[in-house]
Amino acid sequence: MLDNINKLCTPAHRHYRLIHDIYVLLDAGDRNILRQFDLTSSQYRVLVLLDPIQGERLMTLSDWMLCARSTVTRLIDQMEAANLVCRVGDPEDRRAQRVALTPQGVALRDKVYEAHENSLLTRFGNLTKAEQELLISLLEKVRSNLHLTLGESEEVLDSE
């Protein structure tokens, strides 16, 4: 039987916990910032990912954001109602919709991006530039392996 499991956790388990904690703390901080602009973190993510000129497919967004397609549909519903984005039927494939930023969407994106970026600078500010670059390269390595090992079994989300 495992005793004092809290103390004897392995490196892998420590990564696991750290990533969970960091994600939650980061997200809580985001909410504090984004609330001022009436945005959720998911909406902000859409705002930053969208191409304002030609737009993106919902499917593409769902792939990039690693969330279910239905989630994107509803996210875009909200943001369209708020006049931040607009859907345009794709002329080359009548099944698909392209979503692009409206001028208001672009304006809001730029304003929020700046505020969010400043906040991130504070929140990651205790790392040196070198540490930041190192961390990024390690995290990229982790991400690619996670994607790989997950993809082996099935799709990430919305598998059918």
Instruction: Please calculate the CA angle 55-61-64 and round it to the nearest 5 degrees.
Output: 125
Q: Choose the one of DNA, its own copies, none that binds residue 15, judging by a C-beta under 5 to 8 angstroms depending on kind.
A: its own copies
Under rule CB under 8 A, residue 6 binds its own copies: yes
**How many CB atoms within 10 Å of residue 120?**
14
Residues 53 to 82 in contact with DNA, rule: CB under 7 A: 57-60, 62, 66-78
3-state secondary structure of 85: strand
For residue 48 the two structure tokens come to 């930053």
What's the gap between Cα 121 and its chain centre?
18
Q: Which residues would be at the binding site for its own copies (CB under 8 A)?
A: 1-2, 5-6, 10-16, 18-26, 28-29, 32, 45, 48-49, 51, 66-67, 106, 109-110, 113, 117, 120-127, 129, 131-136, 138-147, 149-150, 153-154, 156-157
